Amino acid sequence: MDFKNILEKLPYSSPFLFVDELLKVNEKSAEGIYTFPENSFFYKGHFKDNPVTPGVILTECMAQIGVVCLGIFLLENEKTESNDIKLALSSSEIDFYLPVFPGETVKVVSEKLFYRFNKLKCEVRMYDKQDKLICRGKIAGMIKNESA
Amino acid sequence: MNDKEILDSIKKIVTPYTQRKEGLENFNEETDFIKDLEVNSANLVDVILDVEDEFNIEIDNDSMEGMLTVGDAKNIIERKLASA
């Protein structure tokens, strides 16, 4: 399976899709990149006259690449075609180190902690272009395939 | 390990994930994880993983699906311990 297949199954669209490209996805880990467009909707209000990417959006980006893309891979690996993927974020605990400004490209690296009973929990890190750590933490979600 | 020890151990495991603390006051075999303790489905997975670690057993998908109450959990633990 190529990664395009995973991207096509992501249940998000603009302005809430935060995955441009997947670099690596396997049983244990996932890696992908995203560039925050300068005209993203949240920069207008976060902050007034001082655009910085909100932590909640960085968390979402980490969850989409690190947990959802990996989860789709694991679901597809498990058995049949996934028809209708149901998702829910269940927990996140993130520490932030550096700000992300409009137009920046980030890389998300995720390692699976466990995947049991439809719950996927990962240790996720986000890096900037110089490979400096932007944020890191643990994110978990419930993911299942409701076959028709 | 007797029934009471297993129940005490389950209670200790489920306490941090319990939203409805009153549910812990009369904790017994009929206590329902979701209805009485208001544990969410994601934390129910954590409860099961903690039970596996505590009792050194492995719980499969079918057992997990039948684990609605504390009594169900106790029965599964006892069965797994007996076959270990």
Separation in Å, CA of B49 to nearest CA in chain A: 9
Overall number of domains in chain A: 1
Domain layout of chain B by residue ranges: 3-83
Which residues of chain A make contact with B45, given a CB cutoff of 8 A?
116-119
In this prediction, residue A84 has a pLDDT band, given cuts at 50, 70 and 90, of: confident
Higher-confidence residue of A23 and B2: namely A23
Q: Which residue carries 């719980």 as its tokens?
A: B59
User: Was domain B3-83 assigned CATH 1.10.1200.10?
Assistant: yes
DSSP secondary-structure letter at A68? I
pLDDT value of position A2: 65
- What integer pLDDT is reported at residue A76 of this predicted model? 86
pTM, rounded to two decimals: 0.92
CATH code for the domain of A96: 3.10.129.10
Residue A91's domain comprises 3-145
- What lies within 8 Å, CB to CB, of A44 at 6+ separation is A51
| N-to-C CA span, chain A | 22
β-pair type (A85-96, A105-116):
unpaired
pLDDT > 90 in chain B, percent: 88
Under 8 Å between Cβ of A22 and A7: yes
Residue A142 distance to chain B (closest CA, Å)? 7
How would you label B48-72 residue by residue, b for 16+ Cβ within 10 Å and e otherwise? Answer: bbbbeeebebebeeebbeebebbbb
Catalytic residue, chosen from A9, A46, A136, A144, is: A46
